[in-house]
A and B are shown apart, each in its own frame.
Chain A
Amino acid sequence: MRGMPAYKDLEDMVRKAIEAEMKRMEEIIEFVSREVKESMENQSYIEPLYTEIRRENRVVYVLDVPYLRDETIYIKLEKNTLNFSCTDNRGTKYRLSLRIPNDMSQPEVKVSRVKGRVCLIVEGKASK
């Protein structure tokens, strides 16, 4: 039958369209799930009090986390964002994202505990 290939093409076309739509839906579901998960995770965190001291080519962040469990401190420097998280010994989770100055080249982070506070020193390479 001469009409069959045309019918088959239409069937293929519809199937492909359905598959593409299903893939798109799966991506949307995955995106929404990720957003919901992230949002729920953020709700279980609180932002610690902090103070910022800027010096030449150096920024010092002093974070106040009473009853901090030292071993839970997590720090990640991504581009110009310094992400900090930790947990205190009462189970409270803390999270803080800090924007470090754009003009700081190749920044490095040093962490210390001073008088019960967390001290994050972000230092850039000195310009030649």
Chain B
Amino acid sequence: MDQDFEVEESFVPNLRKPTYMIVGIPDAGLVGEIATEYLISKGIVDEFGQIYSRKHLPTIMHVDDGVAKSPLRLYYGKESNLVVLHAWTAIPVNSAYPLAKFISDYATKLEVSAVISITGMPIPNRLEIEKPNAYWIANSKELAQELSKLDIMQKFSQGYISGPYAPILFETARRKINNFAVVVESFLDIPDPEASAVALDIVSKYTGFTVDVSLLLQEAEEIRARIKGLMEQTKRELPTYASGKPMTYA
């Protein structure tokens, strides 16, 4: 295990095959963050671990029901058989590679079938489109072939991905772990729960565990009100990832 990050587990999940690890880290539109927080808030996954790093995490603790906890935590759902890595704070750019390495190590330890990242793709006409389109980016040719057969999202053919999910694609590829990013059209710097709902719907269809996203859409306004501070923090962090370029762009 990478010494840069330490994990403290309250129990070891009893995983069935296939196992999927979903990663939710704040970036464009907080698309991944809102998606994984929804799984947590609806009790689909329960907390089982905290990830610590004196070197790579900001000096922030997330206070949950009066208890200060690491802002980077692990969750598991017995029924869904999903493992979720959720960040309650923006991840500094210098921590992105070490965190990606940790995720690869931990996915190897849990023998997960695929790591699924959820992210947003900022588009200028986001307000004008009825339902945002979703794309996939795979970390290997084999996985790309598998994903090509699905009709739930399109291939992101050419372009760039920057931000916290980019090094995860790289590090998992080096370790021969399947990883793909679900990239949904979104706003850049205002929260986009509607894009998160699209992403969760896709994850639901891919993993076979049904997640009802209707409540997420109903609670969208409340989510946007609650998550404003994190969006402001993420907005300050995002330009450091790609010199002012958006997170994913064609």
The residues of A with any CB-CB pair to B shorter than 8 Å are 49-51, 53, 55, 62, 64, 66-67, 114-117, 119
Contacts and interface: CB of A to CB of B under 8 A. Distances in A.
If over half of A's interface residues share one DSSP class (helix, strand or loop), that class is named, otherwise mixed; here it is strand
A119 B128 CA distance: 11
Contacts of A53: 124
Nearest to B232: A49
16 contacts: A49-B189, A49-B228, A49-B235, A50-B190, A51-B187, A51-B188, A51-B190, A53-B124, A64-B190, A64-B191, A66-B225, A67-B225, A114-B127, A115-B127, A116-B224, A117-B190
Contacts, number: 38
B153 interface: no
If over half of B's interface residues share one DSSP class (helix, strand or loop), that class is named, otherwise mixed; here it is helix
Contacts of B232: 49
Contact of A49 (B127, B194, B220, B231): B231
B6 interface: no
A117 B127 contact: yes
B221 A116 contact: yes
Nearest to B192: A64
Contacts of B220: 116
A53 B191 CA distance: 16
Contacts of B228: 49, 64
Contact of A66 (B188, B194, B221): B221
Nearest to A52: B189
A50 B235 CA distance: 11
Contacts of A67: 221, 225
Nearest to B223: A66
A119 B125 CA distance: 12
A90 to B, nearest CB: 8
B56 to A, nearest CB: 27
Given A49-B232, A62-B127, 20 more contacts: A49-B189, A49-B191, A49-B231, A49-B235, A50-B189, A50-B190, A51-B188, A53-B124, A55-B124, A62-B126, A62-B187, A62-B190, A64-B191, A66-B222, A66-B225, A67-B225, A115-B127, A116-B220, A116-B224, A117-B127
